[in-house]
Amino acid sequence: MIKIQSKNILITAAVIGAMTTSTVQAANWLMIQGTEPSGAAERAKVWGFVQAQYQKNTSDENTTDPTGGYIPPKLIGPNLTSQQQFNVNRARIGVRGTGMPLDSNINYFLLTEFGNNGITAGNNGSGHVTDASITLNEIPGARIRVGLFKTPGAEEGLQAIHVFDYINFSAVTNQMLLERYPNQTYTGNIAPVTLPSPTPLNGFDKSVGAFRDTGVQVFDTFKMSDWEHSYAVMIGNGNGLNFGDNDNNKDTYLYWSSELVFSGEGARREGMKMFAWTQNGKRRLDNTNDSTHNPTKFDRDRSGIGFKYLKKPFRVSAEYMKGDGMIFVGPDKPSMWINDSAGAVAQGVGDGANGKANGYYLEGGWYIPGSKWEIDLRYDVYNRLTDDAAFAAGPNIGKSFEMQFKNITLGAQYHINKKTRINMEVTDMSAEAVDFGPPSASNPNNNLDGLDKVYAVQITHIF
């Protein structure tokens, strides 16, 4: 229902947006990332940020699995080789500006990544381009952005990461929206490991999609009294950070937001925003464990609806999202099957390629008056493979691999100044295969048993 309704709303919004002539340059993510202030932007402004962190995962190993006691949720990414590590997780530098004085109606945005994260941990390596776009602001109500940039969608993905209020994403954003792209040929699952890990647990060759795509987007923002309405319609390759198209299919993206603006400008502008979005595309995946290279096309659909309220000293936001097809079931499972043995594949049990999922988060913040401190609290739930087939025979007959993940994150931020802040947080993790009950010798809950807390500290500096 959400996908159908949001498509109708967004298409109507796009038509209204194209007809309006009253646009503003105040803050929303479409405008901040895709445009420059008219008549005030520099020709070339160098900018960037660095994030350095320490994380520790206190989960216990599974002592009953002879192949190893650790699975990805119990290790620190992106390397997945340890339960604690220091890391420069992001180091980005870029340049943005306009073509002034030749033409101030054209602006550009270029950004590169040198940190250690899901973008650089794959075959792409460090120094990878994450954004490279040009925006033409020639048509009132219909700005045109072309190149590689963030796709219009969920708030956790669309917003600038250097002002994100948490260190780690919610489970639904991390697993369902932060896309991992299929390998060129079939790659089998990786078993749980011992520590120190003899085998990398990430079986994907490519980097994460980083909520980005290469394509063309028509978008704009217009103002009606104290309300600001924004729309975006985008067509992209559906191939993440790669410039080219790998399957001759295109993804479509639709987005709409309406915000009651209270005061201020920029990333911390105060207001109440409501938004809806949808994304639709196809992926090619070779997930058959045989000697042939015969990839199959699978649908990948995502949609969501949410709101965000910010009026100091309080902040509240929530978002519900759902996905159909190409459901990620772990970095150690590039085949998109939880169990990629022939029997499980034939029955469709643990099938992420055709699976469905949904989830949500509810979070809030309190900016302590008269101080530089902020307290944050988030609760998130992710339901994975909600339509998964049940075992047709054997000891697990009638059971499926539907999984539920629940996290509670308590955090604090200390704002040293406008450019530098420290995040501190602890996340209490839990997960279970809902059909299987308590752990037993042949139970998927066995590996999840012992999942515990993640402690994290991160400093962010913007330049």
pLDDT value of residue 431: 96
pLDDT value of residue 291: 73
- 150: which strand partners? 212
What residue type is 240 in one-letter code? G
Residue ranges in the chain modelled with pLDDT below 70: 1-27, 39-40, 122-125, 341-347
pLDDT value of residue 438: 84
List C-alpha distances in Å: 192 to 67, 80, 81, 89, 188. Answer: 6, 11, 11, 25, 13
Q: Do residues 398 and 423 lie in contact, with contact meaning Cβ atoms separated by under 8 Å?
A: no
Residues 6+ apart with CB under 8 A from 199: 190, 191, 193
Tokens found for residue 218? 């028509």
Can you give the pTM of this predicted structure?
0.91
pLDDT value of residue 288: 83
Q: Do residues 301 and 324 lie in contact, with contact meaning Cβ atoms separated by under 8 Å?
A: yes
Q: Where are the alpha helices (DSSP H) in 378-456?
A: 445-448
DSSP string, 31-100: HHHH---TTT--S-EEEEEEEEEEEEE-PPP-SS-TT-SB-GGGS-TTTTS-SEEEEEEEEEEEEEEEET
The CATH number that applies at residue 211 is: 2.40.160.10
Structural domain range at position 32: 2-462
pLDDT value of residue 125: 64
- Please give the tally of structural domains in the chain: 1
Q: Do residues 109 and 98 lie in contact, with contact meaning Cβ atoms separated by under 8 Å?
A: no
